[in-house]
Structure 1
Amino acid sequence: MKKVVLTGGSAGIGKEINLFLLRNGYEVLFTFRKSSQSANEIISEFPLAKSYQIDFSNPDEIDDFLKEIQDFKPNILINNFYCGTFIDSYFHKTDPDKFLADFQTNIIPTLQTTQECIKIFRKEKFGRIINILSSSLKNPAMGTSVYNANKAYLLQMSKSWASENVKFGITSNSVSPAFTMTDFHKDMDERQVENILASYPLKNNLEGKDIAEFVELCLNGGSHFNGNHLFLDASNS
């Protein structure tokens, strides 16, 4: 049985991926921070689901989660968690502490989680790492410098994970979805949303199930499907 650690799996894109995996017989340990009602509904419906509430800004909670990963012994990791805002402020108006704070909250825990999983994957000579990034890496919206910098960092890390671990049967791939309307974007101005959608060839937003189908490709694409970064944006230039 394939065992998945999925960070941020109770809402938005993460929830769609979670449900996709569970419906296909995967055992999933997923994290959540606030959406406990959604998490409880998932574990009530799917016996193979296991939720874990965590605040990734708390080092003690991270340590406990890493121990949970050791006990769970996954062979798949999906890095989806992100705590913060998509559109914040112009770069020249952003407090330097904001860059550091968001990096510590989002990137450091992701690196720690991935390190822990890779240790397990290497022992088992098999593993899949999938990173959920953003199509704003290609066409960044104004005011997204903090968010984009963090996603770009993970993209480069993913490439290192791919090259360093492929001989152990481990692959690392990343996907950058087009705009997907979730709670993460709930504070965006309606005109901003309209402008983003108008720029896409299909003129509508991506859905979580579309991203879940890409996840399946990463899971079943074989050992040569490694080090890829794909944009799910209908070839939006």
Structure 2
Amino acid sequence: MTEPTKYALVTGGSRGIGREICLKLGGRGYYVLINYQSNAAEAEKTLAGVRAAGGDGETMQFDVASGEAAGAAIAAWQQAHKGACIEVVVNNAGIRDDVLMMWMEPQQWHTVIATSLDGFYNVTRPLLRDMLVNRFGRIVNIVSLSGIKGLPGQANYAAAKGGVIAATKALAQEVAKKGVTVNAIAPGFVRTDMTADIDEAEIRKQIPAGRFCEPAEVADLAMFLISDKASYITGEVISINGGLYT
């Protein structure tokens, strides 16, 4: 008898941490919905990698910051796949726009908040009902060291990620009885496009482990939280920062 298809949605899945999570989900046999905002070519590369890893999937273009766009895309997919349940969602999409607050323009505040914090709500809420009905779900939110510790020049980013951390803890308590877990992963400095503008040699001096994190290491932690082995872990924020902040 063929195993039922398992569906997962990863926001910001075209590059970096999101891509690595998509690839590992593919390796576990998931059908992966790879969300991206604008870079279709990179999303297609991720999809090819998912298939090479033994899974399957499709790309899904929408801006997580838009509740209307996210809701429409998810509703269209659900309409086209009656009876299917997206049982895993990884809220990974996020942007940085670093500047000291005294020079921060309103748009720099609102766009960063909208992508991470509004994005979490816009994507997660439409998927909750099916998870609760099926009495199984895994919600993993990629947050940041900045959301725990705060970093200068990142009042917007810290507020966005800190908000997702608080929402993670609240939602976990709402859905735990239905077999749905909600956890957050807080990476420190990860070698991705998002940190390409950072002086890595200088930052490494501050990190006890002496190096940046690799995206695959974050993805491995996400896969553990998604697995059945983590069914009693919920409402947690797990740091992965090489000892930079504990």
Q: Which residue of 1 aligns with 2:89?
A: 77
Q: Which residue of 1 aligns with 2:70?
A: 62
Aligned mate of 1:22, from 26, 29, 35: 26
Q: CA deviation at 1:59?
A: 4.8
Alignment deviations for residues 67-120 of structure 1 (CA, whole Å, 9 cap, x no partner):
1453452011110011343xx111222234532333234322320211111111
Q: Tell me, what secondary structure is at the counterpart of 1:81?
A: coil
Q: CA deviation at 1:20?
A: 1.1
State the TM-score, normalized to the length of structure 2: 0.86
After alignment, is 172-181 or 216-225 more displaced?
216-225
Q: Which residue of 2 aligns with 1:217?
A: 224
Q: Which residue of 2 aligns with 1:7?
A: 11
For structure 2, the 5+ residue unaligned runs are none
Q: Which residue of 2 aligns with 1:40?
A: 44
CA RMSD of aligned residues (A): 1.9
For 2:58, the aligned partner's letter is K
- Rounded to whole Å, the distance in 2 between the matches of 1:89 and 1:75 is 37
For structure 1, the 5+ residue unaligned runs are none
Change (3 A) 1:202 1:156: same
Change (3 A) 1:100 1:115: same
1:228 maps onto 2:240 in alignment: no
| Matched-pair identity in % | 24
Is contact 1:30–1:51 with CA below 8 Å preserved after alignment? yes
State the TM-score, normalized to the length of structure 1: 0.89
Change (3 A) 1:58 1:175: closer
Q: Tell me, what secondary structure is at the counterpart of 1:75?
A: strand
Is contact 1:134–1:178 with CA below 8 Å preserved after alignment? yes
Q: CA deviation at 1:183?
A: 1.2
Q: Which residue of 1 aligns with 2:178?
A: 168
- Rounded to whole Å, the distance in 1 between the matches of 2:118 and 2:77 is 16
Q: Which residue of 1 aligns with 2:156?
A: 146
Alignment deviations for residues 180-216 of structure 1 (CA, whole Å, 9 cap, x no partner):
121112333x3xx333221111111100111111112
For 1:210, the aligned partner's letter is E
Q: CA deviation at 1:160?
A: 0.9
Change (3 A) 1:10 1:121: same
Change (3 A) 1:170 1:66: same
Q: How many positions carry a matched residue from both structures?
A: 232
